[in-house]
Each structure stands twice: as structure tokens, then as C-alpha cells.
Amino acid sequence: MTFLSSTLDRARRSFYGWRMLGLMLGPRAAGTGIFIVGSTLFIIPLEESLGIHRGVSSLLFALSGLVGGLSAPLSGALMDRFGPRRVLLVSVSVMTAGYVLFAVSPNIVVVFVVFLVPIGLTGLNVAFNASSGLVNNWFDRSKATAMSTMQVGSGLGVLALVPALALIIDASGWRMAALAAAVAVFALGFPTTWASRDTPEEMGLLPDGAAPQEGGGLPAAHDGGLSTRAAMRTPTFWLITAAAFCFGGASAGVGIHFVPIMVWKGIDPVAGALILTVSTAFGAPIALVAGRLADRFSPSWVAGIVALTAGAGVVMINVAEQTWVIWAGALLVSANYSLYSLLWAAVGRAFGRRAYSTIRGSVMAGSIGGTTGTPILAGFLFERTESYALALWVIVGLWAAAAVFLTVSTRARRTERLAA
């Protein structure tokens, strides 16, 4: 009877970690579907409605990533101090209000202010930051699998929200779509975050559902791992940051301009949104496989392979003359949606829980040059050449560079372990 009770108890403990992960699929779906991927749908309608050029609209969405990246260390420090759950609740509320204000913005100046402040400051928290911090607290041995499983939320969010927004824009305009986005962010993000818990220790548990040893008590929730300052002294931190700079820029460049790129290739905007939706949804099973491989081998090593795969997809899109080749390239590009999950698993495995969110935010801050510069560059190159060809070759180079940095970071981490 004692053995049976112990077995059931362990099952319950393990279950709660996966339950927390399941709750985090809500904000992940909203943030990715609306802010990360859905932003590309607003580029052409804003240009037509407000009379702006492609360079200006590219600047708008790129600067929102800049704001999110610059504020990431601060939001990460708040998560380490007060817990990811509280920061996520506030972020969901502010992001909801931001999209309401976006919907009623009378001119491009107000659009910039709204998209950069309430939306830009909170969009990355809702899409990635807070949920990754919470899941990192709940999982240890299965960290990469857990992080990659959240990509299912991203895929579901894109699968449901991107086509819906595209249809609303086509039927009722971008302002109505922005209001719909506000409703989706709140409905998917607030109730699930409210039901979550920051750490397993709050429920008398340990990461991975492990049972505390009898009479041993529970450790402090943030025991284990390096401080932010100590992490920044390691080569691994800077190699991971360099990789994030490169693939973050590549991802942002393709993501923000995806539908305009499809239009450039002769595809209707609604059909382009469909390709984007299918591509992102296809990325979910790829992320699950990548996560399992990363737990078995190395998150950074697997991420390097994923970066090369995404780069190959961009090459196909760039040289494609037939629609099926574009579809095939887009499916390869979908591998890139697992990169951030793998990277944050690598950060958690390398530096632990003590200052995870602050370290993670510092990596994001270091990547802002790529995530901001590449979309802007792509927009201005298009204005000058009326073609995305050169911009896409730049993006291919960034993904190749990311693969190199990720591979080297794996070796650097092994050297640091031996030295310790």
C-alpha cells in the first residue's frame, strides 16, 4: 500500500508540472498569433489606410521589437523578484488595452506611440518571456521538451488567430481586427495565467515532479544556478547572445515581411496568410521532435541544425518560380519557430533558476540589433529595388552565422564544465 501511495503521489506531482505548461499555452498562443506572427498582416492595410511607405511600416514593427528587447532585462529582473505569474498578468492586461488603443488610433503618430509603448513593452512577455520563466522553474531534466511543447501553443495560436485576423481585415478593416486581437489576448492569456503558479515549491513539489526526501524539506525556489553577473563572464553567454542576434534578426526579417514577401512572389495576401498559418502550425511537431532530441543531446547543437534548415527554406522562397516551391520553402522555414524554445532551454540548462529571467532578458537585449535592424533593412531594400531578393540573401547569411555560434557554444559549455 505504501508503494502504491508513493507511486500515485509521484504521478500527481509530475502531472502538475505539465498542467502548468498547459496553462502557459494560452498566453503563448495569444502572444505569438497576435503580436509575433500576426503583425505582418497589418503592414499593407496600414500603408493603404494611412498613406505611409514600406520603410515606415517596417520601422514601426521593428521598433516594437526594439522596445521589447531593451525592456527584457528589467522585466526579467521583475520576474525573478516577484515571479513570472504576476508580470504576465500585468502584461496581458496592458497588451489588451494597447490593441484597443491601436484600433482607435487616428494617425500614424498615435499608432507609433501605442504600438511601441503598451504593446511593445508587453508583447514579448506575453508571447515568450514570462511563460518560459515559469516553465523553467517547473522542469529540469525535461527542460527542452517542456520549452518546445509550448511551441504547440504558438502553432495553435497562429492556426486559429492569423487566418481569423486576415479575414477580419479583408472584410471589416484593420481597426476591427485590432479590437478582435485585444479580445483574444485577454481571453487566452488572463484566465490561464491566473490559474498558474510560479514554482513547484509553492505547491510542496520539486521540479520534474520529484518527491522531496523525507525530513529534508524543500529548497528555496531560486536555489541553484549562476547570478547574472557570473553568467555574463562565461563565453557561453556571449555565444548564445550572438546566436540570438543572428537568428532573431533572420526570424524578425522573415516574420514581419512574410505576407509582403508572398505578395512580391505573386501570391494574394489572404493566400499568403494561409501559407504563413500552415507553416507556423507545421513548426509545432518539428519543435516537439527538436525538444526531445535536445534533452538527449544538446539544445544548442539541435538549434544549429534547425537554423540551417530555416536558412535553406529562405533560399527556396527566394529562387522559387513555382508556388509549390514557395510552399516547400515555407515549411522548411517553419523549423525556425522552435529556435527560441531551444535557446531558452540552453540558457536554463547552462545557468539554472537563480537569475534565469534576468539572464534570458539580457540575451534578448543583446539581440535587439538583429531583431530591429533586419526588418528595417528589408523594408528599405524593397523600397530601393522593389524586390526582397537581396534582403532574403542577408537573412540566409544570418541563419548560417547563428548555426556557427550555436555549435561553438556547445563546445564552450563543455569546456566550462570541465574547468568547474
Residue span of the structural domain in which 259 resides: 15-199+225-419
Cα gap 280→283, rounded to integer Å: 5
Going by pLDDT thresholds of 50, 70 and 90, the confidence category of residue 7 is very low
The answer to whether residue 82 is domain-embedded is yes
The answer to whether residue 38 is domain-embedded is yes
Let me know the angle formed at the C-alpha of 385 by 380 and 387, rounded to the nearest 5 degrees.
90
- The pLDDT mean for the chain works out to 85
The position carrying cell 522542469 is 139
* pLDDT tens digits, one per residue of 333-359: 988 878 888 888 888 888 888 888 889
What is the number of H-type helices and E-type strands within the chain? 18, 0
The answer to whether residue 188 is domain-embedded is yes
Structural domains in the chain (count): 1
Residues above pLDDT 70, as percent of the chain: 90
The answer to whether residue 242 is domain-embedded is yes
**pLDDT over 50 (residue 1):** no
* pLDDT tens digits, one per residue of 101-134: 999 999 989 999 998 899 999 988 898 888 888 9
The answer to whether residue 8 is domain-embedded is no
The answer to whether the CB of 295 falls within 8 A of the CB of 145 is yes
What's the mean pLDDT in 217-239? 75
The answer to whether the CB of 118 falls within 8 A of the CB of 64 is no
* pLDDT tens digits, one per residue of 293-335: 888 888 888 999 999 999 999 999 999 989 999 999 999 998 8
The answer to whether the CB of 133 falls within 8 A of the CB of 84 is yes
User: pLDDT value at position 175?
Assistant: 95
Helix, strand or coil, per DSSP, at residue 234: coil
* pLDDT tens digits, one per residue of 155-167: 788 888 988 998 9
The answer to whether residue 320 is domain-embedded is yes
Let me know the angle formed at the C-alpha of 104 by 99 and 107, rounded to the nearest 5 degrees.
110
User: pLDDT value at position 222?
Assistant: 47
Cα gap 140→208, rounded to integer Å: 6
Nearest to 333 by CA among 263, 396, 240, 274: 396
CATH number at residue 136: 1.20.1250.20
User: Long-range pairs for 388-392 at CB < 8 Å and ≥24 separation?
Assistant: 388/257, 388/260, 388/261, 388/264, 388/318, 389/318, 391/253, 391/257, 392/261, 392/314, 392/317, 392/318
- Whole-Å CA distances, 5 to 12, 168, 202, 206: 11, 53, 22, 18
Expressed in angstroms, the distance from the first to the final Cα of the chain is 44
* pLDDT tens digits, one per residue of 53-89: 877 877 787 788 778 878 888 998 999 999 999 999 9
* pLDDT tens digits, one per residue of 355-405: 888 898 899 888 888 888 898 899 889 989 989 999 999 999 999 999 999
Let me know the angle formed at the C-alpha of 78 by 18 and 221, rounded to the nearest 5 degrees.
50
- Whole-Å CA distances, 144 to 241, 295, 297, 332, 343: 18, 6, 10, 21, 9
Name the pTM for this structure. Answer: 0.75
Residue 272 region by backbone torsions, left for phi larger than 0, else alpha for psi between -120 and 50, else beta: alpha
User: pLDDT value at position 34?
Assistant: 93
The answer to whether residue 149 is domain-embedded is yes
Radius of gyration of the chain (CA): 21
User: pLDDT value at position 176?
Assistant: 97
Q: What are the b/e assignments for 286-314, b being 16+ CB within 10 Å?
A: bbbebbbbbbeebbbbbbbbbbbbbbbbb
The answer to whether residue 292 is domain-embedded is yes
Q: At what angle do helices 130-138 and 84-103 cross, to 10 degrees?
A: 160
| Measured torsion, CA atoms of residues 7, 9, 15, 20, in degrees rounded to the nearest 10 | -150
